[in-house]
Amino acid sequence: MGTDVHTADRPPAGPAIPPHFAGRPIVGAGIDLQRDFLGTLLTIAAGPSPVTKVVAGPPGWRREFYLTSHPDAVGPILSAPERWVKQTATYEIVRRTLGNGMLTAEGDEWRRQRRFLAPVFTPRRIAGAYADIIVDETSRLADRWDTTTGRTVDVHADMVELTARIIGRILFGADMTEAIRRITRVAFVNEALMRRGLVPHPLPLAVPTPGNRRVVAGLREIRSVASDLIAERRRRYPSGRSTADDAQDMLSLLLNARDAENPTDRLTDQEVADQVLIFLLAGHETTASTLACGLVELARSPHWQAVLHSELDNIGYPPASADLPRLVWTGRAVRESLRLYPAAHTLGRRALADEILCGYAIPAGSDVLISPWVLHRSPRIWPEPARFDPTRFDLPDGALPGGSRHAWMPFGAGPHTCVGMQLAMTEAPLVLAGLLRRFEFTTELTSVPLTAAVSLRPSRPLPVSLRAR
Ligand code: HEM
């Protein structure tokens, strides 16, 4: 009784100040974050507080941000994009270097772009034309693997190539062989941009240090891959209009799209190029990491492979989108791979005004990191969090994975939830099904070596041995 009564001895509870993560003397968590970003986030989050203030770097050369690792803090931030904006250091870098496509756009501009994209990601298109491309490209890879039977492949390199081919055909109806070679050569840009986001005042890219020159050249190359593909597409169809044959590819949909609220409005060529670039990058590395890490986990587990094989033996070959409802354990294996290896490992937002998060005061202008990586590996939420266990997703109707709404959030939450989610959740199980139907996998890897670039990716090749079934 009376626990909420305030007396002179006990002042009304006001917002508390989040505990401070000190790390090392003077430099705080700076060096640790640079050396091992993912491990350091887990160390910080292991503390008892749902919100921690992190200081990285020596005085005068410091980045400060807050890390929250509590599912209850996620909803209030991600569902209020007008108060929590994408103006963090990392998003600014992505915006400056890759243009203002839908990943970085905000407010009315973002709403306009999302309206334009609605017809591009309809369930009918995903289950139809896009799924056909996924199945076809997966069968081609399986045929190629057949000739390497008994040998070992790097599943990461092969998944990057496969997912790039898939998104290339979905976007442009184009053969991506040459484009993939070019994109792979500049894969280091992903990591370089992440490192820039971690230091407080990165040298402007215009300063011609050897490192900067390499990043600038890499970015130019990525942009020109996208613009070459668009130019090639325009050469084939100079009017920009689609024909019956290519009416399904995303580029023609974008070139022809009109805003449902303002039918005279169209995307400019620059806007189409920005959008395409983001889809090209966001649309393959993420799915590739999910698949590659998932394949390693399955290769390490004869039990889970057997479960999936027996499910797959009851459907025809190649598995098609109509089979997805029956690929129950394959779907759970994908979800578990997304839990352990969330490609978007950390999301950032900046508070426009003073905010209160889980009872803690967050001053206006602060950056807050929400980390699916941390949430997905929290022992408070997931028993034995490092263990690959698809049964975590074998839940009664209405139950939530991890027991609460944002405990599992590989695609984010709120209005900015991943626009490619349905595509990824069609692609990943269909690829896994198509490959497992044909092969058994083994590996000597005991874990997946990871690096936190802008997206989470394997840091070394992932050798896996194949045996045709
Ligand atoms: C396994 C695959 C994928 C994962 C784990 C993933 C994850 C995410 C996450 C967490 C966000 C939210 C970012 C934030 O709120 O700050 C996001 C947004 C986004 N993703 Fe994905 N993604 C995947 C695949 C894709 C694909 C296939 C595409 C496009 C073809 C795509 C395009 C985008 C775009 C455009 C946004 C921004 C959406 C908005 O702000 O409205 N993603 N993604």
Q: pLDDT tens digit string along 188-224?
A: 777 777 667 666 566 677 777 887 788 888 888 888 8
Ligand 1 closest atom vs CA 110:
41
In Å, the largest CA–CA distance within the chain is: 80
Ligand 1 centroid vs 371 CA: distance in angstroms? 14
50, 52, 72, 174, 408 from 404: Cα distances, Å: 15, 21, 9, 42, 8
Is 138's pLDDT higher than 70?
yes
Nearest-angstrom CA–CA distance, 153 and 461: 9
Q: Is 53 helix (H, G, I), strand (E, B) or coil?
A: strand
Rounded distance from Cα 429 to ligand 1 centre (Å): 17
- What element of type H or E holds 209? none
Which residue has the least CA distance to atom 16 on ligand 1?
347
pLDDT of residue 244: 47
Query: How far is the CA of 152 from the CAs of 178, 207, 292, 406, 464, in angstroms?
Result: 24, 43, 14, 38, 5
Tell how far the Cα of 343 is from the centroid of ligand 1, in angstroms. 9
Beta bridge partner(s), residue 63: 56
- pLDDT confidence tier of residue 100, bands split at 50, 70 and 90: confident
Query: Which pLDDT belongs to residue 249?
Result: 78
CA dihedral 182, 183, 188, 193 (to 10 degrees): 130
**Residue 442 to residue 463: CA distance in whole angstroms:** 9
pLDDT of residue 3: 36
- Positions of E strands within 45-98: 51-56, 63-68, 84-85
CA distances from 458 to 34, 171, 204, 433 (A): 17, 25, 28, 22
**Rounded Cα–Cα distance for residues 26 and 424 (Å):** 43
* Residues in contact with 346: Cβ distance below 8 Å, sequence separation at least 6, in sequence order: 41, 369, 370, 371, 372, 373, 452
69, 45 in Cβ contact below 8 A? yes
On whether the CB atoms of residues 59 and 349 are closer than 8 A, the answer is no
Average pLDDT over residues 275-289: 86
Atom of ligand 1 nearest to the CA of 78: 15
Domains of the chain, residue spans: 20-468
Q: Give the distance (Å) from ligand 1 centre to CA of residue 65.
A: 23
Ligand 1 contacts (CB < 6 A) are 102-103, 114, 278-279, 282-283, 286-287, 290, 342-344, 347, 410-412, 416, 418-420, 423-424
Cα(152)–Cα(404) distance, integer angstroms: 40
User: What does the chain come to in residues?
Assistant: 469
Q: Distance (Å, rounded) from C-alpha 333 to C-alpha 446?
A: 18
372-428 per-position pLDDT tens digit:
999 999 999 999 999 999 999 999 999 999 999 999 999 999 999 999 999 999 999
* Amino acid 265: pLDDT: 82
Residue 51: what residue type? V
> Which atom in ligand 1 lies closest to the alpha carbon of residue 86?
16
- Return the closest-CA partner of residue 165 out of 151, 184, 146: 184
| Confidence (pLDDT) at 116 | 83
In a 3-state reduction of DSSP, which class is residue 363? coil
Per-residue pLDDT tens for 3-15? Answer: 333 344 554 567 8
Using 50, 70 and 90 to split pLDDT, how confident is the model at 22?
confident
pLDDT digits (tens, 9 = 90+) for 232-268: 777 776 655 555 444 567 888 887 777 777 778 888 8
Among 119, 114, 68, smallest CA distance to 416 is for 114
Task: From 181, 164, 399, 443, select the one nearest 294 (Cα to Cα).
Answer: 443
CA distance 61 to 252: 47
Mutate which of 418, 419, 454 for ligand 1 pocket (most atoms within 8 A of beta carbon): 418
* 418 marked as binding residue: yes
Residue 67 near residue 77 (C-beta atoms within 8 A):
no
Whole-number pLDDT of residue 160: 92
Contact residues for 431 (Cβ-Cβ < 8 A; gap 6+): 134, 138, 159, 162, 163, 291
Radius of gyration in angstroms for the set of CA atoms belonging to the chain, rounded to a whole number: 23
CA dihedral 432, 435, 436, 440 (to 10 degrees): -130
User: How far lies 57's CA from each of 29, 42, 51, 196, 245, in Å?
Assistant: 7, 19, 20, 13, 56
- Rounded mean pLDDT of 88-113? 84
Between CA 158 and CA 154 the distance in angstroms is 6
DSSP string, 215-255: HHHHHHHHHHHHHHHHHHHHHHSTT----TTTTTSHHHHHH
Residue 280 CA, ligand 1 centroid: distance in Å: 11
Atom index in ligand 1 nearest the CA of residue 412 equals 10
Nearest protein CA to atom 41 of ligand 1, as residue: 416
Question: Considering only CA atoms, which residue is closest to atom 37 of ligand 1?
Answer: 103
Architecture of domain 20-468: Orthogonal Bundle (1.10)
Q: How far is the CA of 420 from the centre of ligand 1 (A)?
A: 6
3-state secondary structure of 439: strand
- Predicted local confidence at residue 241, as pLDDT: 52
Res 119 pLDDT > 90: no
What's the pLDDT score for residue 117? Answer: 82
- CB within 8 A of 372, min separation 6: which ones? 342, 344, 345, 346, 347, 409, 410, 412
